[in-house]
Amino acid sequence: MEWIKKFLDKQKENDLLRALNTASHRQGGKIHINGKEYFDFSSNDYLGLSSHPKIIAAARHATEKYGNSASASRLLSGNLEINHVLEAKVAALKGKESALIFNSGYQANSGIFKSLFSKEDAIFSDRHNHASIIDGILLSGAQLFRFHHNDMGHLKMLLKKYRHKYRRALVVTETIFSMDGDRPPLSEIVELKNKFNCQLIVDEAHATGIFGKNGAGVAEDEGLTHEIDIIMGTFGKALGSFGAYVAASKTITDYLINTCRSFIYSTALPPAIIAANIASLELLKEEPHRRKKLCEKSRLFHKYLESISLKTKGNSQIIPLIVGESKKAVALSQQLEAAGFFVLPIRPPTVPQGQARLRFSLTFDHSEEIIEKLIKEVLQSCLI
């Protein structure tokens, strides 16, 4: 296996080698690694719900009632009543007729595209869409057209040139891009999908729980839920739990139950996780101050960055600081770590060559004082 060693050596030489950080404790916006405590700016626990007492109690009660595992797929004996309770709550939140639970966001995206599209179809995908979306499209065999990030002129050109050559067509986008923190021009995408007779799938993984009157996401925030055919999202970010969902018409979810291999051939999520997800959705209604406070902190973070002459993309809780080369991103991450801040570098192939960055993930648990210290004291001195 000499070729494997050569690959790893090359990755290390180019500052691209990945390794696992092992935490002994993580709670309240802090993480303990190798006996040291850091302020954690790499977590997706945006609303700080992962350690909420209500969620923990719900998981404990479900384990006592149903056991530790579903022990089968949902098409066998793993379909517990609480699965349907969760799906009904997701459908209601998302403004859709039905919902279907998946074991992870990757599993959902790798399965739904293959179920719904084939080589006779075309899929138009934003160039910055998540790897799980791209992998799902490739598995489907559909013709993939990637339009420049948030470039509606390029999308329109591709649709005009190629749409008529295919049986069915789909446009797919994230609503908060995971590495850039920005939004797509969703209303323009809707206009184009209607003009060219396409379906539309949006991935709300990083938007659910944060945006919109009820925390449903960007589609709700922009009043466009009814224009979207399928809304996908996850429980493992702002909702502080695990798993994923697809919200759509009942016809579509019934079709996925019958055709989606990643759903059919997987053991169902553990009862504890299902119950935790239900509790998370209830907390969106009970504690709306969490998302309001998070958005305020996001605006503050951007304000402080501007105060030291740094500009970044988007205006969400995901704040990228693009530094260019991987070596520079790694060095800056190490400087921040030495100062007590855990902010990991994001490098190719996750982002394009020359766009390595630090990705700051804000959470409800980060105090304004810590945000100010991070930017005005630590980050500014590191960049001098």
**Mean pLDDT of the 93-118 span:** 98
Q: pLDDT band for position 309 (50/70/90)? A: confident
Topology given in CATH for the domain delimited by 19-51+288-383: Aspartate Aminotransferase, domain 1 (3.90.1150)
Q: Which two tokens stand for residue 143?
A: 């013709």
Model's pTM, two decimal places? 0.93
Check residue 83 and give its pLDDT.
99
166, pLDDT greater than 90:
yes
Domain span(s) for CATH 3.40.640.10 in the chain: 70-269
Q: pLDDT band for position 375 (50/70/90)? A: confident
Determine the Cα–Cα distance for residues 374 and 29; give it in Å rounded to an integer: 14
- Nearest Cα to Cα of residue 221 among 283, 259, 178, 175: 175
**Mean pLDDT of the 325-353 span:** 90
Using a pLDDT cut of 70, give the percent of the chain over it: 99
Determine the Cα–Cα distance for residues 360 and 294; give it in Å rounded to an integer: 13
Using a pLDDT cut of 90, give the percent of the chain over it: 79
The answer to whether 149 and 127 have CB atoms below 8 angstroms apart is: yes
**What H or E segment, with its residue span, contains residue 180?**
none
- In the chain, which ranges are E strands? 23-27, 30-33, 36-40, 98-102, 122-126, 143-147, 169-174, 199-203, 230-234, 244-248, 318-324, 341-342, 345-346, 356-361
- Nearest Cα to Cα of residue 207 among 239, 230, 229: 239
Catalytic residues: 44, 130, 174, 178, 203, 206, 237
- Nearest Cα to Cα of residue 47 among 278, 156, 209: 209
328 burial level (CB within 10 Å; 0-12, 13-18, 19+) = middle
Check residue 384 and give its pLDDT.
60
Q: Which two tokens stand for residue 60?
A: 């404990």
Torsion of CA 191, 194, 199, 204, to 10 degrees: 20
245, pLDDT greater than 80:
yes
Kindly report the length of the chain. 384
Determine the Cα–Cα distance for residues 44 and 365; give it in Å rounded to an integer: 12
Domain span(s) for CATH 3.90.1150.10 in the chain: 19-51+288-383
Determine the Cα–Cα distance for residues 230 and 147; give it in Å rounded to an integer: 20
Topology given in CATH for the domain delimited by 70-269: Aspartate Aminotransferase; domain 2 (3.40.640)
Give the DSSP letter of residue 165: G
